[in-house]
Structures are given as structure tokens and as C-alpha cells.
Amino acid sequence: MRARGYNAAMTRLLAHYLVTAAHTDIRARAQALALEQSVEMPLAAITDVAIRTEIVATVEAITPAGHGRYRVVLGLAGATLGRDLGQLLNMLFGNCSLQPDVELIDAEWPDELLANHPGPRFGLAGLRAALGADQRALSMTALKPQGLAAAELAKLAGTFARAGLDIIKDDHGIANQDYAPFAARVVACQRAVSCANAARGGHSIYAPALSGGPRQLRQQIHVVREEGVGMVLACPMLLGLPVFDELVRHELPCPVIAHPALAGAGRIAPPLLLGRLFRLAGADATIFPNHGGRFSYDRATCIAIAQAARAPWAHLAASAPVAAGGMSVDRVEEMLATYGRDIILLIGGALLSAGPALAERAAEFVTRLHVAAERAA
């Protein structure tokens, strides 16, 4: 067959994997992985010279990584990736997600491929501007438990806004259930927060949780626009990464916070998935389970997630990392010492546990965050 050239084919995304294999097998295993993540057929059966040289993934490096594992770097041809983040994830980890000896740990984008992805539209700086808090760390809480009716959630939202919380989000399990349908809930909660803001000159923002397929999402975004909602929450791995990508590019009038539901299912390194890939998809903030809470990521992993979300990266605005998952007001200073001021602290259940002292506990959260910020300044 004839040779031919592919646009952007000489530009390769470098995908880093940890592969478990015997020393004598790793070369063949890496080559098999390169075929799996590109042409999915035996190399010998490919007669087209251009496909062999420009489309088949290349094995760029194999280095020992300890414990019987190797770090394998593949060069994925830019031409195979298209501009869609679903296809990017497909080429990075689609089929090899089904091979338990492979873990996706990192990726390096050349600028030409990054240029396809605008990333966060608001990002950390945009959140700060909207909240009128340009120097300090930001606070977030969650409306819960699910089962509450819209009016009850709105009452909670108002209490939190009066306490000066920056961002008040729906719990991610609050979807479109009959007991608090999206439209009724968003109208009630947004108005409660707006009233509290008006009364105290505050800047609190309510962030409802989006859910469902494209039709339901369209209806929900219509409500978001109508009510002048300032921020939304969405789970990229539940909605689908291509859906999240398209919402950011074309639909959403406001910043979006990524929630990690289903994203822990395994074998994609958290800093890559929650940090870089969600940022690439345009998450303005990304929630991660902080160490010492209900989840098991260690401190180093959490710091790596925060760095992946906000460290300089080509043209991409910084996403705000959101430390979450069973945090308490007692940990405010420690968390700020760990993450600095480019962080959002999310405390939910620990505020609600205060029962009748909810408003005081929420105010304490806000005060401790502000005081720590002033001390650090």
C-alpha cells in the first residue's frame, strides 16, 4: 500500500504506565501495549508504511520502577486523539483498563496537542474575583443530607450564606429526586443565598449539582441561566468526560466544580485524573479526598493532586484544588499550612453535626480561615 502523511501525526502525547512484568518479558509487553492503545492488531498485519510509522504508538522508554514493575512511556500519535476528551481517555486507557497489569500514571502533552483544549474558563483566579477574595484561601460547604425537601435545603443554604461561607454546593448525591427536584431546589436555594448576600453585603455563591443525560442537563442549565446561578457542581466520570468537556466549551455560563465520584475506580493516578485531566476538561475547581478523612489517599498524593490542578501548565488557567472528604473545622490551620492560600477547604458533615449550633460552627469555620489568612499575609 502507498505511504501517506497524517496531520499532527509526528506530534506524540507521551503516556506513562506502570506495568508489572518479568524482566525477560517487559520489552514484548510494552510493544503489545503500544499496539493495544493504537491500532489494536498485530503489527505484521499492517502493510501501510505511514500507519506503521505515524499511527502505531511507539515505545519511547522502559525503566525499572521496583517491585517487579516497569515505567513504560508510550508515544501516542496526535492524529489518533482527535479533539475530544473521550477519545483522549480512550487512547490513554480505554482497552488497557481491562488489563490489570497496567496502571496509567502520567502524561506529557506537547503544546500543539494542548492547544485543542482551552481548559478552565474562570479557574482559581475567576473564583476569587467572583467571591471578592483575592488573596486568601476559600471556604466551601455542602447541603445535605439527601432526603431534605427544597425548602429545607434552602434554609440551610441561607444559614451558611449568613455565616459567610464562600461556596455552598449541593451534596453530589442530590440529583433530581422527587423529594427535591432540580428546578424547585435551585430556585429556592439561589434565592436564599441571594437574600443573605443582600442583607450582609456578602458574596456567597450557591453551586447546584448537575446530573443526568444531555436532555436533562439542557433543562438544568436553562434553570441555572434563568436564576443567575453563579457556579455548578458536576461529576465528570459519571456524566462522561466528553459531556463535561462540551458543557464547558459550549453550554455553561458560570464556573464548574468537578466532583470525583466514580473517579477512584482505579488504576489511573489521582494527580493525573483529578488534577490534570479534569483541568484539561475545564474544571474551575476540583474536589479531592484529603488525607486523614474518610478516604485513603496519603498526604503526598493529595499534595500532588493540588499541584497538578494549579501549577503553571501552558496556557491553561489554574484550577482551584478543593480539599474535602470528612474534614473538620479543627483542621483549618493545618490544611492551610499544607496547601497555602491557593486552596478551597470543603467542610460539610462536620458543620451539620453541630445541630442547633450550626450557624456558630459555620461562622467559626469562616473566621478561622480568615484569621489564618491574615496571619500568613
Site for its own copies in 97-126 (CB under 8 A): 97-101
Burial of 184-200, coded b for 16+ CB within 10 Å and e otherwise, reads ebbbbbbebbbebbeee
Q: How far apart are CA 47 and CA 172, in angstroms?
A: 50
Residues numbered 338 to 377 that lie near its own copies (CB under 8 A) are 348-349, 352-355
**Site string (305-334) toward its own copies, x via CB under 8 A:** --------------------x---------
265 binds its own copies (CB under 8 A): yes
Looking at 64, 68, 132, 145, which residue binds its own copies (CB under 8 A)? 145
Taking the complex as a whole, the smallest distance from the CB of residue 88 to its own copies amounts, in Å, to 10
Residue (41 or 337) nearer to its own copies, CB: 41
Taking the complex as a whole, the smallest distance from the CB of residue 359 to its own copies amounts, in Å, to 14
Residues numbered 268 to 307 that lie near its own copies (CB under 8 A) are 268, 289, 294-297
Burial of 239-259, coded b for 16+ CB within 10 Å and e otherwise, reads bbbbbbbbbbeebbebbbbbb
Binding range to its own copies, per CB under 8 A, among 30-38, 196-204, 220-228, 368-376: 30-38
Q: How many residues does the chain have?
A: 377
Q: Which run of H or E residues covers position 55?
A: none
Residues numbered 38 to 97 that lie near its own copies (CB under 8 A) are 38-42, 44-48, 50-51, 54-56, 79-82, 84, 86-87, 89-91, 93-95, 97
How many positions of this chain bind its own copies (CB under 8 A)?
90
Taking the complex as a whole, the smallest distance from the CB of residue 315 to its own copies amounts, in Å, to 21
Taking the complex as a whole, the smallest distance from the CB of residue 338 to its own copies amounts, in Å, to 19
Residue with cell 478561622: 368
How many CB atoms neighbour CB 285 within 10 A? 33
Looking at 20, 58, 146, 307, which residue binds its own copies (CB under 8 A)? 146
Q: Which of 348, 342, 260, 257 is nearest to 303 (CA)?
A: 342
Q: How far apart are CA 35 and CA 325, in angstroms?
A: 39
Q: Which residues, 6+ apart, have CB-to-CB distance to 45 below 8 Å?
A: none
Residue (75 or 289) nearer to its own copies, CB: 289
Axis-axis angle for helices 150-162, 358-376 (nearest 10):
40
Residue (46 or 114) nearer to its own copies, CB: 46
Q: How far apart are CA 319 and CA 286, in angstroms?
A: 7
Residues numbered 177 to 216 that lie near its own copies (CB under 8 A) are 177-179, 211-216
